[in-house]
Amino acid sequence: MPSFRPRSFTEYIQLIWQRKLVFFLVVMAMLLATFVIVRRIPDQYQSKASIVVAGSQDDRAATAARVTTTTEKLYSRAFLEPLILRHNLYSKEVERGAMEVAVSHMRKDIKVDTKYRGDYVESLTIAYRNPNPEAAQAVANDLVDAFGTMNQAVAGRLDEQSSQVNQELGELEARLAQLGQQRAIASARNRAAAQSRGSFDMNRAQRQAAESSVEALTDKQYALQQQIAETKRQIAEQEPLVKSAPRDMKSGSSYGVLLVRKAELEAQLKDYQSQYTDKNPKVVQAQTQIAELNRQIAALNSSGESNGATVDSAEARELRALQRELANKQTELAVVERELGRKQKTLTSAPSVSVAAPPAVSAPITDIASETSTDRLGDRYTYLLRRQDELRQMRSATAGLDPGIFQIVDRPALPQSPAGPDRTKMHLIGLVIALALGLLAAIATQAPRLFEVRDDRDVNYYLGAPVIALIPESFTPAERGRRRTMMLARRGLLLLLGVILVPGLILLLNQIGLFQLLAGRW
C-alpha cells in the first residue's frame, strides 16, 4: 500500500466536497433529530419569590447562620422528598423507585440567588421550574414557607428569651428593692450613730470650752483684785501729798493754758476787727471763744477759792489718774465676775461627760459585699433592659412589612408564560453539532482514498517520474449501465441510512441528555 501523499488545503476541500452527499445527509439527519428532541422538551414554567433579610446589624453572624441553615434545608432530601410525593412530581422516577434521581432533578429545578451588601446578606430570590404552572407555584410557596417557618422559630425563640428576660428583671427588681430597704435601714442606723457621736462630741467640746473659760476668768478675777488693791494703796498714799501741796491756782497748767489761749484770741480779734466788721462770722466766733475762756478762768478762780485745794497740781493729776484707773479696774472686775457666774451656771446645768472614757458609739454600718452585690445587680439590670429593647425591636415590624428576619416581599405567582427552554439557542447548538458531524462523516468516508493512486500527481509522487500522457477511461454501454445502476443503488442505500440515522441520533441524544440539561439551565 502506498504511503500518504501530502496535499494542499484546496485539495482536501476538493476531496471532502466529493463526499458532499454524505455531508448533507448527516447534517440533515442531525438537524431532524435535534428538532424532534427540542420539540419534545416540555415548556418550563417558573414561579419565584423575593425575600428581604431584615436582621439586626449587631446580629449579622446569627442572621447569616439562619440564612445558610434555611437554604441548605431547601436542598435536603428530608425536605424535598415530601414535596415530591405531595405534588406528584417526577412521576417516572418515583414509579421506578429512583427517589434519589427525582430529588437530584428537583435540586436542579430549584434556584436560590443570594444578594450581598458587603458581608451581609441583603435579599434572596427563590425560583422553581416545572412543566405544570400550578405545581410550580405550589412548590414555590412551600419553599417560601420554609423561611416563614424559620421566622416562626425565631419568633418563638425571641418570645422565650423575652419571657426569661422579663422573669429575671422581676427577680432583680425584687432583689434590688430588698437591698434598697436594707441600705435604708443601715443608713438610718448610721445617721443615728453619727448624731449620737456628734452630740457627744459637741457636749464634750462645750464643757471643755466652758471649763477653760472658767479657769481663765478665775485667773483674770484674781489679777484684777490684786490690781485694785494696789491701786487703792497708791491712792491712800497720794491723798496726803495732794493736801499738803501749795495752793496757787495760777500756777496750774490748765490755768496757764487758758490765759495763753485767751491772749492768742485777743490778738486774732484785733486783727479781724481791722479787716472785718463786728458782724463778720470770724469776729463773732473769736468773741464767743474769748467769752468762754473768761468763763472757764472765772470758774477756776471760784473753785480754788471755794475748796482751798490745788486742782491742777502734779499730785492732783496723779491722784485723779489713780482714781480713774481704780474705777476702770472695778468695772472690769464686775464684768469678769458676771461672766464667771454665767459659765459656772452653764457647767452646772450641762450633762456630765467623761473625756477620758467617752460613751461607746457604734461605727458606721457598711457592708462592702452588699454594695458590690448591688453594683453587680445594677449592671445586670441595665443589660437586661437593653436586651429587652433589642428583642422588642426584633419582633416589631421592619420597613412596614411583617415582623421577622425574612420579609417576604413578593409571594410566588402563577406563571402565565413559559420561562424556558430557549429553543432558538438549542437549534443553533444542534446546527453546529450537525455541521461538525457531517464534516466528520465526509472526512471519514474520504480518508481511505487518500492512500490510493488517483491522478497524475499521485503517479509523479509515488514513481518519481513525470506523466507524459493520459489515456481516458472508456466504458461499453453495458458497463455504463451497470455503473449507473451501482450509483443509484449507493444513493438509495445512503438515503436509507439517513432515514435510519435520524431515530438513532434521537436515541443517542436522549441518552446523552445534552438538550435536556440545557433546557434545565435556560
pLDDT in tens, 365-414: 445 555 677 778 778 878 888 877 776 766 654 444 555 678 888 889 88
Report the number of distinct structural domains present in the chain.
3
Average pLDDT for 427-439: 88
The answer to whether residues 212 and 306 belong to one domain is yes
Q: What distance in Å separates the CA atoms of residue 134 and residue 413, rounded to the nearest whole number?
A: 9
Per residue in 138-163, pLDDT (tens digit) is 999 999 988 888 777 777 777 788 88
Q: What distance in Å separates the CA atoms of residue 271 and residue 288, rounded to the nearest whole number?
A: 16
The answer to whether residues 57 and 205 belong to one domain is no
The answer to whether residues 314 and 448 belong to one domain is no
The answer to whether residues 446 and 469 belong to one domain is yes
The answer to whether residues 159 and 302 belong to one domain is no
The answer to whether residues 54 and 26 belong to one domain is no
pLDDT at 521 over 80: no
pLDDT at 61 over 70: yes
- Taking residue 501's Cβ as centre, other Cβ atoms within 10 Å add up to 21
Grid coordinates in use for 404?
421577622
pLDDT band, residue 80 (cuts 50/70/90) = very high
The answer to whether residues 327 and 431 belong to one domain is no
The answer to whether residues 95 and 221 belong to one domain is no
Give the residue, 198 or 40, on which the prediction is more confident: 40
Q: What distance in Å separates the CA atoms of residue 313 and residue 236, rounded to the nearest whole number?
A: 17
Is 216 within a domain? yes
3-class state of residue 417 by DSSP: coil
What CATH number does the domain containing 99 carry? 3.30.1890
* Cα 28–chain centre separation: 71
Is 373 within a domain? no
Is 430 within a domain? yes
The answer to whether residues 231 and 298 belong to one domain is yes
3-class state of residue 408 by DSSP: strand
Grid coordinates in use for 263?
491772749
Average pLDDT for 320-339: 82
Average pLDDT for 87-112: 88
DSSP H or E run through 47: strand 45-53
Is 176 within a domain? no
- Largest distance between two CA atoms of the chain: 214
The answer to whether residues 201 and 340 belong to one domain is yes
The answer to whether residues 342 and 199 belong to one domain is yes
pLDDT at 492 over 50: yes
Is 34 within a domain? yes
Is 184 within a domain? no
pLDDT at 480 over 60: yes
End-to-end CA distance of the chain: 52
pLDDT band, residue 245 (cuts 50/70/90) = low
Domain that holds residue 262: 191-349
Express as a percent the part of the chain with pLDDT over 70: 81
Grid coordinates in use for 20?
458532499
pLDDT at 260 over 70: yes
pLDDT band, residue 8 (cuts 50/70/90) = low
Model pLDDT, residue 357: 46
Is 364 within a domain? no
The answer to whether residues 156 and 203 belong to one domain is no
pLDDT band, residue 356 (cuts 50/70/90) = very low
Is 358 within a domain? no
